[in-house]
Amino acid sequence: MTRFLSLTEADRKEMLDTIGVSSIDDLFEQIPAAVRFDRELALEPALSELELVTHLEALAARNAHTGAELSFLGAGIYDHYIPAVVDAILSRGELLTAYTPYQPEMSQGVLQAIFEYQTAICELTGMDVSNASGYDGTTVAADACFLAKHATRRSKVVLAEALNPQVRQVVKTYAPGFGLEVIEVPHRSGVTDPDEFRDACADAACAIFQQPNFLGCLEPAPDLAAAANEADALAVAHVDPVSLGVLEAPGAYGCALAIGEGQGAGNYQSYGGPHYGFLAARSEYIRRMPGRIVGETIDAAGRRGYVLTLQTREQHIRREKATSNITTNQTLLALAGLVHLSWLGPEGLRELGETCLALGRYAKERLQSAGFEPAFPDRTTFKEFAVRVGRPAGEVVTEARRKGVHPGYALGRDYEGLDDTLLACVTEKRSPADVDRLVDVLQEVAA
């Protein structure tokens, strides 16, 4: 018996008698002998809880986490401060161990939380309807393309090159199965040119750009949305939730859909997951939305309650015509996002954005006066920016890390002509003194 099983020998005997068989082996008679596994699983012996913790601590100790070095690494996953209330609420066993709320009377807590999350996402993005989460910031882009294909009946999608490389790669992985052609529009000095974008959008189902983009630069987002709209393509903005206290909402400048990676709001970095993707749309697309949606209603006594609604979109009813095959989503991580956004409030979110802007400006200016030029000097940036370090950036990272500082992401592996360029990210968890240390170390390493 292991520590998670309760059946005693006496229990088992009684149960086998009730069933009418003499041994557990009899229960597996229906498995043909040819496919019976007749040896022990070649797995290491069971560990006690103490041994398990020791083993995992040893594995964890071999990872250089952001507490172990001064980190300026961003590029889509961010070291933001996660408040203690998030941890406290996520450890509530009812929320942690509940299933999808198909039986609404048992799950009003989860359902209301999702309704509140949907509201928060709509507020951030300026949209009318949000789903209950997608897998991450990359798959929601594939979802957006699938939605746009069916809404417009067109089979081409446009992606800005300044959109996160992994987002583009995931869209290109799904595209053949969706029957979609993918066109990329190159960045010009760190941003996307609206005229080039408009030309590419002819006959496109949708066009996706990122704000701020992967290079940290602010795109001419209203112009890009207008460019897509002029071609009757759905304008899709991939946005950072943490930026939406200071940057305009996609719904305010003509987008049909707003998508993104929610991690920065509420989730630890956790070596890349689990996190949550968000997807929000104007009301006319509600029936084409992928994923779960919670709606409000009442019971016979007039009490307000929440239920999964418009389920006819989903796989368990519409099967091969479903708006997506998604079932299990990222509810718990989205709930963490809701808690974090509730902790922030509108003023806190604005202040967080202003802090990132101010620290970013300070970092750029200090680096510039130390001889490290921004790669895109005329561009306004948010939270991160590309800086030239005069040597192959990967080498700079290695040497800086020996001095306890991770200076940022080496962009050369994803973009032409940027082999000497780092994407440095400064969040509210870094201070001006931390920035000074970054500058000092880069000076030492670049020398």
Partner 1 sequence: MELIFEKSRSGRRASTFPRYDLPPGEVPDELRRERPPRLPELAEPEVMRHFTELSTRTFGIDTGFYPLGSCTMKHNPRVNERVVALPGFRDLHPLQDEDGIQGALELEWRLQEILAEVTGLDAVSLQPAAGSQGEVTGLMLMRAYFADRGETERSEIVIPDSAHGTNPASVAMAGYTLVGVSTDKRGNIDLDDLRGKVGERTAGLMLTNPSTLGLFDESIDEIQRIFHRAGALMYYDGANLNAVCGISRPGDMGFDIVHINLHKTFSQPHGGGGPGGGPIAVRKSLEPFLPVPAVVREDAEEAARFRLDYDRPKSIGKVRAFTGPFGVFVRSYAFIRAYGPALKEMSEVAVLNANYVLARLKDAYELPFDRLCMHEFVLSARNLKRAHGITALDVAKRLMDYGFHPPTIYFPLIVPEALMVEPTETETKETLDAFCDAMLSIAREAEEEPELLCEAPHHRPVGRLDEVKAAKRAIVRYGFEDHPDLSAEPAEAEPRQLEAQKGA
Partner 2 sequence: MAAAETYPDDLKYHREHDWARVEGDEATIGITWFAQDALGELVHFEPPEEGSQVAKDSSYGEVESVKAVSEVIAPLSGEVVAVNRKVVDEPEIVNDDPYGDGWLVRIRLEDPGEADSLLDVEAYKQVLAEQ
Residues 263-292 that bind partner 2 (CB under 8 A): 287
Least separation, in Å, of the C-beta of 102 and partner 2? 12
β-sheet bridge partners, residue 133? none
**CB 374 to partner 2: min, Å:** 51
Residue 297 touching partner 2 (CB under 8 A) = no
Task: Name which of partner 1, partner 2, none residue 390 binds, using a CB cut-off of 5 to 8 Å depending on partner kind.
Answer: none
Residue 109's binding partner, choosing from partner 1, partner 2, none, with beta-carbon cut-off 5 to 8 A by kind? partner 1
On the question of a cis peptide bond just before residue 176, with omega within 30 degrees of 0, the verdict is: no
The token pair at 257 is 């859909």
Considering the complex, state which of residue 153 and residue 319 has its C-beta at the smaller distance from partner 1.
319
Residue nearer to partner 2 on the CB measure, 111 or 124: 111
Residue 169 CA to residue 165 CA, distance in Å, equals: 6
Residue 93: HSE in the Cβ half-sphere, 13 Å Cα cutoff = 0
- Which of residues 105 and 395 has its CB atom nearest to partner 2 in the complex? 105
- Which one of partner 2, partner 1, none is in contact with 344 (Cβ closer than 5 to 8 A by kind)? partner 1
Phi and psi, residue 195, nearest 5°: -65, -45
388 sits in which H/E element = strand 384-388
The CA-to-CA distance between both ends of the chain, in Å, stands at: 63
Q: Which is nearer to partner 1, 198 or 275 (CB)?
A: 275
Give the integer Cα–Cα distance in Å for 155 and 146: 10
Name the residue among 223, 218, 217, 215 with its Cα closest to residue 207. Answer: 223
Which of partner 1, partner 2, none does 195 bind, CB closer than 5 to 8 A by kind?
Answer: none
Nearer to partner 2 (CB atom), residue 312 or residue 431: 312
Which residues within the stretch 307-336 sit at the binding site for partner 2 (CB under 8 A)?
Answer: 311-312, 317-318, 321
Question: Is the Cβ of residue 195 or residue 347 nearer to partner 1 in the bound state?
Answer: 347
Question: What CA–CA distances, in Å, run from 202 to 22, 158, 230, 234, 365?
Answer: 71, 9, 9, 11, 41
* Count of residues interacting with partner 2 (CB under 8 A): 6
Tokens of 179: 């029957």
Least Cβ distance, residue 295 to partner 2 (angstroms): 11
Give the shortest CB-149-to-partner 2 separation in angstroms.
17
**What does the alpha-carbon distance between residue 21 and residue 149 come to, in Å, rounded to a whole number?**
56
* 36: partner contacted, choices partner 1, partner 2, none (Cβ within 5-8 A by kind): partner 1
- Answer whether 313's CB lies under 8 Å from 288's CB: yes
CB of 56 or CB of 317, closer to partner 2: 317
**Do 120 and 338 touch, CB atoms closer than 8 A?**
yes
Give the nearest distance from C-beta 233 to partner 1 in angstroms.
Answer: 21
Q: How far is the CB of 15 from partner 1 (least distance, A)?
A: 4
Q: Which is nearer to partner 1, 346 or 377 (CB)?
A: 346
CA 1 to chain centroid: 40
**From CA 249, how far away is CA 127, in angstroms rounded?**
8
Query: Cis peptide before 212, with omega less than 30 degrees from 0?
Result: yes
Contact of residue 71 among partner 1, partner 2, none (CB under 5-8 Å per partner type): partner 1
Cβ atoms of 344 and 120 closer than 8 Å: no
CB of 205 to partner 1, least distance (A): 15
CB 312 to partner 2: min, Å: 4
For residues 423 and 384, is the Cβ–Cβ distance under 8 A? Answer: yes
Write down the least CB distance from residue 376 to partner 1, Å.
15
Nearer to partner 1, 325 or 443 (CB): 325
- Give the residues lining the site for partner 2 (CB under 8 A): 287, 311-312, 317-318, 321
